[in-house]
Amino acid sequence: MNNLNTILTGDRPTGQLHLGHYVGSLKTRVAMQEDVENKLFIMVADVQALTDNAKNPEKVAKNVLQVALDYLAVGLDPKKSTLFVQSQIPELAELTMYYANLVSVNRLKRNPTVKAEIEQKQFGEGVPTGFFIYPISQAADITAFKANLVPVGEDQKPMLEQTQEIVHSFNTTYREVLVNPKAVLPPKGMGRLPGIDGNGKMSKSLGNGIYLADSADTLKKKVMSMYTDPNHIHVEDPGNVEGNMVFTYLDVFGEDKAYIEELKNHYRQGGLGDVKIKRYLIDVLEATFGPIRARREELAKDPEYVMSVLQQGSEKAREVSAQTLSEVKQAMGIQYFA
């Protein structure tokens, strides 16, 4: 055995990706792809997105391109990473069916992330079966590629635990075929970028996000509307740095830590206005996201190229998962025809 890592991760195409995705996972993926010891598979999880969008497939389909644009714009390189679309790999659905027999309904009911989503999406008694079992399908995604590392946010830990249980169950029931994966969590403090309103995590449903695709003007307006310290009314007033989104974002995105400390001290003492710190934050964000936006705009002019990247990636992903599926069927003794 060599010490190559195989990495699989993905995103549901239910909207464009935002700065929370960038610090929480996109940046880590780009860094991982530069290490030749790593093999990287990045999946647009449209099948999973459909589990709660069955009546709205156009929304999912249209966002496949959007997510792919975000991937390429941040620097994921099709020469180094395999970018693919989940629905184009039927082997994943097959694996899901075999794994489903190894997981009890009660076990699925205990998944805290699924529980929270059922609550939040207000399914009531109408939870779609496909949604309920998506942790099993996620185990298929991960194991089909024999991934040992899965970079994800905290909320995905229960999916990794479920996958580990399936791997153990499969390997002990049949034969040692599947690889036990490990979650790679975001760097400290990067896992939960709050929204510009300071109300919880940046998310599409809360409408508090800054998107990679946002124009310079939109980004500027969003920063200017950011939640700061509601008691900091006059420039001379002493202000709060904690819970102030401008400083929260400067801590995450700013490079010049010493200057940011100076700004914080000045703000605490009074005499530093919100507009000044917001202007500085705009400069800081533009330094990273300006070039990403420019690349995204260029790529958006050629959607055929972007879709061809996904198509080629999907072909490669299919080969890899077909191999695993064949091993799975052999281990189960259901590979009837040579």
12 CB contacts (<8 Å, ≥6 apart)? 45, 46, 48, 49
Residue 20 sits in the site that holds ligand TRP (CB under 6 A): no
Nearer to ligand TRP, 12 or 39 (CB): 12
CB of 167 to ligand TRP, least distance (A): 14
Determine which residue in the list 46, 52, 70, 141 makes contact with ligand TRP, applying CB under 6 A. Answer: 141
Interface residue with ligand TRP, options 66, 138, 143, 228 (CB under 6 A): 138
In the bound state with ligand TRP, the residue whose beta carbon lies nearer, of 277 and 317, is: 317
Which residues neighbour 245 within 8 Å (Cβ) at sequence distance 6 or greater? 194, 196, 197, 198, 226, 227, 228
3-state secondary structure (DSSP) of residue 304: helix
Which of residues 63 and 228 has its CB atom nearest to ligand TRP in the complex?
63
Rounded Cα gap, residues 33 and 7, in angstroms: 9
Q: Which is nearer to ligand TRP, 86 or 244 (CB)?
A: 86
Choice from 7, 12, 51, 314 touching ligand TRP (CB under 6 A):
12
For ligand TRP, the closer CB: 24 or 195: 24
- DSSP code for 40: E
The residue range among 92-100, 118-126, 137-145, 238-246 that interacts with ligand TRP, by the rule CB under 6 A, is: 137-145
Please say which residue, 8 or 292, places its beta carbon nearer to ligand TRP: 8
Question: Which of these, 321, 331, 325, lies nearest to 147 by C-alpha position?
Answer: 321
The strand pairing partners of 11, in sequence order, are: 44
Q: Does 40 participate in binding ligand TRP (rule CB under 6 A)?
A: no
Phi, psi of 220 (to 5 degrees): -60, -45
Let me know: does 309 contact 77? Beta carbons within 8 Å.
no
Q: Which of residues 150-169 bind ligand TRP (CB under 6 A)?
A: 150, 152, 156
Torsion angle, alpha carbons of 123, 127, 133, 138, to 10: -30
Closest to ligand TRP by CB, 203 or 240: 203
Task: State the Cα–Cα distance between residues 85 and 10, nearest whole angstrom.
Answer: 9
10 Å CB burial of residue 332 (0-12, 13-18, 19+) is middle
What's the rounded Cα separation, in Å, for the pair 91 and 321? Answer: 6
Least distance from ligand TRP to the Cβ atom of residue 138, Å: 4
A 10 A CB-CB count for 296 gives 20
Q: What is the closest distance, in whole angstroms, from the C-beta atom of residue 269 to ligand TRP in the complex?
A: 42
Given a contact cutoff of 8 angstroms between Cβ atoms, the answer to whether 306 and 69 are in contact is: yes
Contact between 9 and ligand TRP by CB under 6 A: the answer reads yes
Task: Please choose, out of 75-83, 134-142, 227-235, 237-245, the segment that lies near ligand TRP by the rule CB under 6 A.
Answer: 134-142
**By CB under 6 A, is residue 222 in contact with ligand TRP?**
no
Site residues (CB under 6 A) for ligand TRP? 8-12, 45, 48, 138, 141-142, 150, 152, 156
